[in-house]
Amino acid sequence: MRVTDGLEERLAERDGRILTRSLDPGSKVYGERLHSRNGAEWREWSLQRSKPAAFMARGGELPLRRDDRLLYLGAASGTTASHFSDLLDRGTVYCVEVSPRSFRDLVTVCGRRRNMLPVMGDAGRPQDLAFAVEGASVVYQDVAQKGQASMLAENMRAFGAERGMLALKSRSEDVTAAPAKILERAVAKLESEGLSVVDVRMLEPYEKDHAMVVVRA
């Protein structure tokens, strides 16, 4: 696994498992296993339930820093966002979610973590998120809907982000087209928006028909 420079104290691999150092010791978010290591508590990051973990298992490197302001679009109940919260102990994770049901669980997770803020809203309308989000250095997007590449580009622009990660679900773009074709179109769209695509990985066998695309502004 490739650990980004500066994240060594927050992200580790042990016996083939990916671990994040917990910001909320003694507490689980989704039933993950907890491990003690060097006097600290570490949470196992599920490759099957969290796409950034699958991305790392496929050789990818997270474009994150401990002091990032991360705008997370499609946070659901906070499974993946809680691991980002572990990593960005000097930063902030703004968690945007549109579904009231998921948002309720998200609020509970955020309430236990000093760097995680819940934002109820539509990621397709960045202007409506500005009341809660001052700006972002990085955007992570995982919303299963059409127009995923445009949505990432628009949010990066609106919040001045220099880095972005898109968890692309090809079936949400077009159920009839091959995932490789959808990925090709998404990459072309991101580039046409002026972004540089720095890494692309399919997430099989952990997530079917999903890719992770990393971009820079």
Ligand X SMILES: C[S@@+](CC[C@H](N)C(=O)[O-])C[C@H]1O[C@@H](n2cnc3c(N)ncnc32)[C@H](O)[C@@H]1O
Least separation in angstroms between CB 160 and ligand X: 20
**Based on CB atoms, which residue is closest to ligand X, 30 or 191?**
30
> Which two tokens mark 151?
């949505």
Rounded CA-CA distance 167/32 in Å is: 21
**Based on CB atoms, which residue is closest to ligand X, 91 or 118?**
118
Under the rule (CB under 6 A), what is the footprint of ligand X? Answer: 50, 73-76, 79-80, 96-99, 102, 122-124, 142-145
> 130, 131, 152: which is closest to 141 by C-alpha?
152
| Residues 94 and 119 sit within 8 Å (Cβ to Cβ) | yes
**Based on CB atoms, which residue is closest to ligand X, 142 or 163?**
142
Give the residue at shortest CB distance from ligand X: 74
> Which two tokens mark 176?
């009839």
Least separation in angstroms between CB 177 and ligand X: 20
**Based on CB atoms, which residue is closest to ligand X, 47 or 73?**
73
Least separation in angstroms between CB 62 and ligand X: 14
Least separation in angstroms between CB 93 and ligand X: 12
Count CA within 13 A, CB hemisphere, residue 178. Answer: 3
Beta strand residue intervals within 89-152, DSSP E: 92-97, 116-120, 138-141
